[in-house]
Amino acid sequence: MSEWMDIARWPECVEMMKPGVVFEIRNGEGKSMFTPCVQPLAQMPFDWKSRPVRFRAVPEPKPEHSSPLPEPRR
């Protein structure tokens, strides 16, 4: 939806907020996560070894229905 921006510009996400938009954050290893615009940037996942390096605005993913739980074994 938008171009990648340096993470130093993260405070600008406030100006880019609108309904149906979230932000994809990518670290130096190429791992990414989705987050709303929160100040300061939220806690990173435990398995991230490197810091966030860039972000971009993307459409919010549509919710998915999960499969029903299987019946208990008897």
CB 9 within 8 A of CB 49: no
What confidence score (pLDDT) does residue 72 get?
87
Of all residues in the chain, what percent carry a pLDDT higher than 70? 99
pTM strictly above 0.85: no
Evaluate whether residue 74 is within a structural domain.
Answer: no
d(CA 36, CA 62): 15
d(CA 44, CA 48): 7
Evaluate whether residue 29 is within a structural domain.
Answer: yes
Evaluate whether residue 50 is within a structural domain.
Answer: yes
Which residues constitute the domain of residue 28?
Answer: 5-59
What confidence score (pLDDT) does residue 42 get?
77
For 14, the enclosing helix (H) or strand (E) is: helix 13-16
Evaluate whether residue 70 is within a structural domain.
Answer: no
Residue 23's CB is within 10 A of a number of other CB atoms, namely 23
CB 51 within 8 A of CB 14: no
Domain total for the chain?
A: 1
Evaluate whether residue 53 is within a structural domain.
Answer: yes
Evaluate whether residue 71 is within a structural domain.
Answer: no
Evaluate whether residue 65 is within a structural domain.
Answer: no
